[in-house]
Each structure stands twice: as C-alpha cells, then as structure tokens.
Amino acid sequence: MKFAAEHDVVILGAGPAGTSAAIRLAQMGLDAGIVERRRFPRGHVGICISDETVALIDYLGLGREFNNAQFWRRNLSAVRWGDSETRLVPQQGYHVDRAVLDGLLLCRSRAAGVRVYQPVQVQKVERLQDSSWGVAIASDDRRQFLKARFIVDAAGRRPAIPGARIKDGPPLLSIHANWALRGMVEFDGLIEAGEDAWLWYARTARDRAVVSAFCDPRRVAASERGGVQAKYAGLLRQFRALSLEQMGEQCSDPQACDATSQHAEDPVGNSYIRLGDSCLSVDPLSSQGVHLALQSGLQGAIIVNTMLRKPENAEPARQFFRMRITERVGRYTGRTKQEYARVSAMCPNAFWHERAGGAPVVEAAGPYPPLEPAPRGPADQVAVSPHATLDAAPVIDGIFVQVRQVVRHPNIDGGVAYVEGVDLVRLLSALPPSFAYCDIPWIWRNHIPLATGSRIASWLWDKSILVQATG
Ligand SMILES: Cc1cc2nc3c(=O)[nH]c(=O)nc-3n(C[C@H](O)[C@H](O)[C@H](O)COP(=O)(O)OP(=O)(O)OC[C@H]3O[C@@H](n4cnc5c(N)ncnc54)[C@H](O)[C@@H]3O)c2cc1C
C-alpha cells in the first residue's frame, strides 16, 4: 500500500479534545495529523463554558484570540429546579459560538505544525502487519492512505474506533433552536425543571439565545405526533420562568441530538486512546463537556507521548488514564443523580425518579469536614493526619507519566505527587512529628520560598492533611 503520509499520531476528529491533543503532541515534537470529516466553520452544541475552561484555552495559547472573539459574557443565571421560585445566581463564564472556538483551536493546531485533512470521510481504520495503523480517507476528488504509529479517537459521541459503550444514565434527548429575543431578560442563562423535561436557555448575543429542552426520547416518541418542531413546541409549554413573549421568535429549525451519559469500556489500548466525548460523555446538566474534552486532550497527549517515547512506562500511563476516567465517571454520575434527585423529591414523574437512581437529596453544603481557620499562634501544634498515607502510583511528571510516591487522603481524589510543582512527599517527610503551624514555611525554607510554603501549608490544612496535634 502506498501512503500519502506517515505520522507518529493520527487524530480522528477536530473538536476540542482532538485539537487540544494535537497542539500538545506537536509541541512535544511528535508528528501529528488530524482528520476532520466536516468543513469548518461548523456549529456545535455545547456552548456554555466556565472561567476554568477559559484558563485551559489560554494555556493552549489562545487567550488573546478568545478575548477578541467577544463571546457573550455570562454573569447571572436563573435557576428554577424543583421549586416554584426562580433564584438568580451569580455564575461567571461565557456562551461561545463553537463554530468560532473550534475554528480557533484548529488554526492553533496548524500553527503548531499539525497536518490537517479536512473535509474527508474516514473509510477504514485498520491494524497493519507491522502493528501500526492504516487510515483510509476520502474527499470529493481523491482517496488517500495515512500511516500512523498511534491513533487518537476524538470523534465525539459516535466514536470512530468501534468498542463497547456503557450507559451512565437513562436515555436523554436534546431538542434546541435559536431564538430572536424580544422582551427584556435580566439573566444570561436559565435552567428550569419541568414536569418531565428540563429547559436550558443561554443568551449568545444582545438579542439572541439558544433554547434547549431535554427529555426522555421514549416519552417524546410515544406521546407527540408530528415532526421535531411539534415535539419542541410541546415540550416548551411546560416551562414558566421565561414567557414566550420574552423569548420572542424562534429563528432556526429545531435540531434533535442524543445527550445520554455514557463512557467507553476500553478508553485506552496498546496503540490507541479515546479522548473527549468518544471516551466519556457526561450529562449536559453539568455544562462540563468542553472542559472535560480539553482536559482529556491535554492529559491524553502526555499518555501518548509516554507510550511512544518511554515504552517501559506504557502500562503505568494506561493505568493512570483508566484511573482518571473511572474517577470522573464516578464523580459526574454521582453529582448528576443528586441534581435529578432534588427535583425527584418534589415531582413524582418517572423522568426524575429514574434519573435520580435512588440517590439521596444532598443539600448544597460547604466542604466536608467544615473548614476551620488555620491555627496562628506558636503554641498551636499541628501534625500530619494519620489518614494521610504514602503510596507509589503513576502521575504526570512534565510530559511523561512516571511512577512516583504520592500522598493519599480521603479528602483528595487519587494521589497527589506535586502541589504548585513541588514534591509533596519530600515536603511532608521534612516535617517533625509535631510542630507549630506558623513554623512550616521556615521548616521548608531550604526547599521552597516562604510564600510558596505558606500557600502549601494552607492547602494541606484545608484538605485536613494537617490537623491539630493530639497530646
Ligand atoms: C445537547 C448538548 C448540550 C451540551 N451543552 C454543553 C455545554 O453547555 N457546555 C459544555 O461544556 N458541554 C456541553 N455539551 C457537551 C459538549 O458539546 C461535548 O462534550 C464536547 O463538544 C466534546 O468535545 P469532543 O472534542 O470530544 O467532541 P466534538 O466536539 O463532538 O468533536 C468531534 C469532531 O469529530 C468529527 N468527527 C466525527 N466523526 C468523525 C470521523 N469518523 N472522522 C473524522 N472526524 C469525525 C466531528 O465532525 C467533530 O468535529 C453538550 C452536549 C449536548 C449533547
């Protein structure tokens, strides 16, 4: 077979997961190609992002371009979730145009040296005899073959490499459309629970908004006749926080898409990895899909770099990735069930009950255990908590995964090797059995500056890894 190009890595899909991985792989010196089936600019669902997500975009070198794009700044959201009151909640973030954001990320990939194949159809992805991959792609005028040592599947909710998917919740369907606002709306975003559906309103410009209704596809198929428009209109009737006068006029055909939470059974293999939605699609209720896609792109690039350049660390790298995915599945399904449970407690409909999955209603509370102010006086003796343990585990160390000593504690997910880039085990090992809290930066002064020591001591106290000394 004659290959048009041979790459270290071929990435399938140029959404946030694929492009963030591509940018980082190229920056690490690997030869990457990205294959996208659609012509850009193309719109996409998934427009609400938080300021933490913007920090990741900035890390990828797009801070200035993001600011110049002038996406709609979200400051205030309205929430009507299981009660008859609409609460206004300050919530910082942006409502972005994904056609623009995804275009910026793809441009950044090109500038980093990534070869872009677009628009092309992926016809075949197969293992070759020498255990590399062959990818057959076709555009209007030609068919080409690419060769790759490693494949990244970042093709979104419909993965490009077949594999079992595990459902993390009942089926969920989104029907959304664009609206031209007429009345005055005081908030930028709205989330509202209805009888058997929930609504999401996101303003995208002074007089424009996207309105999505999330429902059970089984219920919609059974109860509503007519096309998607009739189903959409039927669903919108049950919501109260926003009047139809305020919403103005629907100015696009409604689009329906699957929004069910699910994850891949095999997120990573010997020479492939799944990133973004192709690995884990969380319930849109969390508004975290883009964040998770970027995060998985950044982490995934390090996993791939390790597997290609330090094959002796390949198994710890895969283990690290699987552990992170398992943690995220647990965290997001748990939180989502609790959110559905809050409505289920007030509304008996099966839509809420089934999604709550028997989760208890947890009132929004502060961190547990409650934060105590750090002790200040020289007489206040503290110690490392007996619940903090040391263990060897794979961690990210620069652009590789390595096995290192980590600190484990019930209040932290997984193990922590570094805080602010400093080896935490080394710092804890330097502490005597008990000591005054205010002396900590001085005990560590040969390792780190006093200000860094003071911040890390405060983080350890907040996590209860440092506690009051007994006796
Ligand atoms: C209704 C709904 C609302 C959502 N709202 C939010 C929100 O407000 N905030 C948020 O953060 N997240 C939201 N999400 C989730 C968010 O959209 C996704 O998590 C995010 O886009 C995932 O990024 P990705 O790069 O993994 O995949 P995608 O963004 O889906 O990108 C995949 C890319 O791969 C391409 N592709 C597909 N198949 C192939 C193939 N075979 N070969 C080559 N290319 C291919 C596609 O054209 C696409 O460009 C929402 C999801 C849904 C369903």
Tell whether 178 and 199 lie within a shared domain: yes
| Residue at 335 is within a domain | no
| Residue at 403 is within a domain | yes
| Residue at 398 is within a domain | yes
259, 280, 296 - which closes a domain = 259
**Nearest ligand 1 atom to alpha carbon 157:** 30
Q: Give the whole-angstrom CA distance, residue 27 versus residue 167.
A: 35
Tell whether 55 and 24 lie within a shared domain: no
Tell whether 193 and 217 lie within a shared domain: yes
| Residue at 310 is within a domain | yes
Q: Which of 98, 99, 128, 219 is nearest to 170 (CA)?
A: 219
Cα torsion 274, 265, 157, 321: sign: negative
CB 37 within 8 A of CB 120: yes
* Residue to substitute in 37, 95, 158 for testing ligand 1 pocket (most ligand atoms within 8 angstroms of CB): 37
| Residue at 286 is within a domain | yes
* Spacing, Cα 106 to ligand 1 middle (Å): 14
* Spacing, Cα 338 to ligand 1 middle (Å): 25
Q: Which pLDDT does position 366 carry in this prediction?
A: 45
Print burial letters for 229-267: b (CB count within 10 Å at least 16), e (below 16): eebbbbbbebbebbeeebbbebeeebebeebbbbbbeeb
**Nearest ligand 1 atom to alpha carbon 287:** 9
311, 326, 341 - which closes a domain = 326
Residues with CB under 6 A from ligand 1: 12-18, 35-38, 44-49, 122, 154-156, 158, 160, 174, 212, 257, 259, 276-277, 284, 287-291, 293
Tell whether 224 and 296 lie within a shared domain: no
| Residue at 459 is within a domain | yes
Tell whether 14 and 82 lie within a shared domain: no
Q: Give the whole-angstrom CA distance, residue 38 versus residue 49.
A: 23
Q: How many domains does the chain have?
A: 3
| Residue at 340 is within a domain | no
pLDDT over 90, % of the chain: 87
Tell whether 32 and 117 lie within a shared domain: yes
Tell whether 33 and 71 lie within a shared domain: no
Tell whether 142 and 286 lie within a shared domain: yes
- Express each pLDDT in 101-131 by its tens digit: 999 999 999 999 999 999 999 999 999 999 9
Looking at this protein, which amino acid is placed at residue 239? Answer: F
CB 122 within 8 A of CB 35: yes
**Which residue is closest in CA terms to ligand 1's atom 5?**
46
Tell whether 391 and 443 lie within a shared domain: yes
Tell whether 28 and 152 lie within a shared domain: yes
Q: Which pLDDT does position 374 carry in this prediction?
A: 77
What's the Rg (C-alpha) of the chain? 25
| Residue at 273 is within a domain | yes
Q: Give the whole-angstrom CA distance, residue 242 versus residue 184.
A: 10
Tell whether 446 and 385 lie within a shared domain: yes
Could you say which residues of the chain have pLDDT below 70? 222-225, 363-371, 471
CATH (domain of 294): 3.50.50.60
**CA-angle at 269, arms to 267 and 272, nearest 5°:** 85
What is the domain range of residue 249?
A: 48-96+171-259
241, 259, 277 - which closes a domain = 259
Q: With a threshold of 0.75, does the pTM exceed it?
A: yes
Tell whether 73 and 202 lie within a shared domain: yes
CATH (domain of 71): 3.30.9.100
**Nearest ligand 1 atom to alpha carbon 290:** 11
